[in-house]
Amino acid sequence: MDMNKQKYWQEYLNKIKAKVTAPRLSLLLALEQAKKPISAEELIAKTKLDKATVYRVLAFLSQKGVIRLIDLRQDKRLYELGRHCDHHHVICNTCGKIKAIDICVFQDISQQVLKLSGFNKIHDHSMEFFGLCSQCAKNKKTYN
């Protein structure tokens, strides 16, 4: 276990006034290591924590904004680290490949969204792109 990353997460949990526990640290380190959205089942396998603990910690960390639930239309819930970096995803409709794109247009469109919606404030956002990866495009003769 990387002690610097563990220390970072301990300090982060302290900063948000959340108790530092072994399961929380284990899940945060596994999410950081995954470098892509990951399912609870994959986290259970990686961390060797029991199912109830994983779901309880995921719910807690999600509520605190440390992690976020991602909907990539794959019939399962995927999780990733939250507000540490703003990015979006491109997902291949054929093979399911996921690529994170480190770009965010939120600042550019948020004022327009507020004006058009009549809302007062936006707390969070999500934008995902779905298409065909290069490998699947080579293997297909036509696009859908």
The percent of residues in the chain predicted with pLDDT above 90, rounded, is 40
Provide DSSP, 4-42: HHHHHHHHHHHHTT----HHHHHHHHHHHHH-S-EEHHH
- pLDDT tens profile 69-97: 887 776 778 898 875 556 778 888 888 88
Q: 61 pLDDT band (50/70/90 cuts)?
A: very high
- pLDDT tens profile 14-23: 999 999 999 9
The percent of residues in the chain predicted with pLDDT above 70, rounded, is 91
Nearest to residue 67, comparing CAs of 24, 3, 22, 112? 24
Which DSSP category does 122 fall into? -
Range from 18-22, 48-52, 121-125 carrying the lowest mean pLDDT: 121-125
Vertex 128, ends 126 and 132: CA angle to 5°? 175
Phi first, then psi, for residue 34 (nearest 5°) are: -65, -35
- pLDDT tens profile 28-44: 999 999 878 899 999 99
Domains and CATH numbers, the chain: 1-84 (1.10.10.10), 85-144 (3.30.1490.190)
Per DSSP (E only), the strands in 11-124 are 38-39, 67-70, 78-81, 88-92, 98-101
Range from 7-16, 26-35, 102-111, 116-125 carrying the lowest mean pLDDT: 102-111
pLDDT at position 14 is 93
Higher pLDDT, 142 or 122: 122
Residue 92 near residue 131 (C-beta atoms within 8 A): yes
pLDDT at position 46 is 95
Residue 98 near residue 36 (C-beta atoms within 8 A): yes
Tokens found for residue 15: 């900063």
SS3 at position 135:
helix
Average confidence score pLDDT of the chain: 85
